[in-house]
Amino acid sequence: MRLSVLDHGHRRRARVFLTLTSKVSRVASPDIVKLLLYRPEFLTRPLLDRTAPAMRGASYWTAGEREFFAMSTARVHECPFCIVTHAELTRIASGGELDPDRPADFRPEVPAAQGFLEEVSRTGTATSVPDLPERALTEALEVNLVWNIVNRLANAFGFELLDGQLETGTRALHRAGYRFPGFLLGEDRGDLRKSVFEQPAHTSPELRRAAATGEGLEEPWRAYVALVRDASYRITDDDVRRLTAAGHSEDEVFEVTVAAAVGAALHAFDNAREAVRRR
């Protein structure tokens, strides 16, 4: 990954967990797990509080259909790691009944919602709302919110899928239902907005709130945050090196990247939810 702290900066209990699970599976821990176990009180706890219900809670949508929505969101963000992962999870969660390469075989509500979510992911708003129950659209937007965050982070931090990780990682994630053991998640510091934008950290809340909107930033943050928000697939190693060369620590880069991703995703979520309410 592009930040060494995401590979080697974990606390002791997380390091033990990563070592043990790698030995049991005989496969290196996936980058997504390393990210989630790094300073989990900053992002992971509040993110998983939304992810587990969105992906595996009671819903209008089946688990396989929700994985298909996640894959569709990843395609908008051109995130190879997430596209492959959620395509496989679509098959696993549906017991092999859904093929992500054959969307015409899905029930008609799925492609209708898919197009809606893709517009929300791409533009940050919704110009039209499909004729689906409000509950269905709201639950689909919860799925979309999570992966609009994670896809940006996967691209920004340079996630890679190594040999053996796809099969072991997806099956473990499915079995766990997008939950982690509580002892790994750190202190509860509020919901996603409060945790990412308000709590004390290496960067100021003012900087993180500016990253969330993309406004009021100076270089080199301004150009980098614009990429995270609008074209995370274009981020390169050089973009991150420019930040550290300018004197910013890896923890500062981590926090601003998270703030930009969460801010962009919440903005799109809020706009789309309001469009659903107004229709």
Statement to judge: residues 18 and 98 lie in one domain: yes
Q: Is residue 184 part of a domain?
A: no
Q: Is 278 within the bounds of a domain? A: no
The answer to whether the bond into 220 is cis (omega within 30° of 0) is: yes
- The closest alpha carbon to 71, from 126, 32, 133, 117, belongs to 117
Does residue 271 fall inside a structural domain? no
**Are 201 and 117 members of one domain?**
no
Whether residue 114 sits in one domain with residue 200: no
The verdict on residue 218 lying in a domain is yes
Same domain, 145 and 19: yes
* Chosen domain end from 178, 201, 230: 178
Specify the amino acid at residue 226: A
Q: What are 140's two structure tokens?
A: 């689909």
15 and 144 both lie in a single domain: yes
Question: Which of 153, 178, 203 is the last residue in one of the domains?
Answer: 178
Cβ contacts of 202 within 8 Å, gap of 6 or more? 249, 251, 252, 255
**Are 103 and 155 members of one domain?**
yes
CA dist., res. 176 & res. 63, Å (int): 13
| Residue 38 domain-assigned (yes or no) | yes
Note the pLDDT tens digit of each residue in 4-39. 999 999 999 999 999 999 999 899 999 999 999 999
pTM equals 0.96
Among 109, 77, 132, which Cα is nearest to 279's? 132
Q: Are residues 247 and 135 in the same domain?
A: no
197 and 174 within one domain? no
Domain that holds residue 252: 192-265
Amino acid at 153: L
Residues 158 and 210 in one domain: no
**Residue 11 DSSP one-character state:** -
Residue 276 lies in a domain: no
Does residue 233 share a domain with residue 120? no
Quick count: other Cβ atoms within 10 Å of Cβ 244?
15
Number of domains in the chain: 2
Domain co-membership, 173 together with 203: no
The tens digit of pLDDT for each residue in 209-254 reads 999 999 999 999 999 999 999 999 999 999 999 999 999 999 999 9
Last residue of a domain, one of 178, 210, 245: 178
Where does the chain have alpha helices with state H?
A: 4-8, 12-25, 31-36, 44-56, 63-76, 80-93, 109-123, 134-157, 165-176, 192-197, 205-213, 221-230, 237-245, 250-278
Q: Is the same domain home to 14 and 121? A: yes
pLDDT in the model for residue 167: 86
Question: Residue 148 and residue 251: Cα distance in Å, rounded?
Answer: 21
pLDDT one-digit tens code per residue, 113-155:
999 999 999 999 999 999 999 999 999 999 999 999 999 999 9
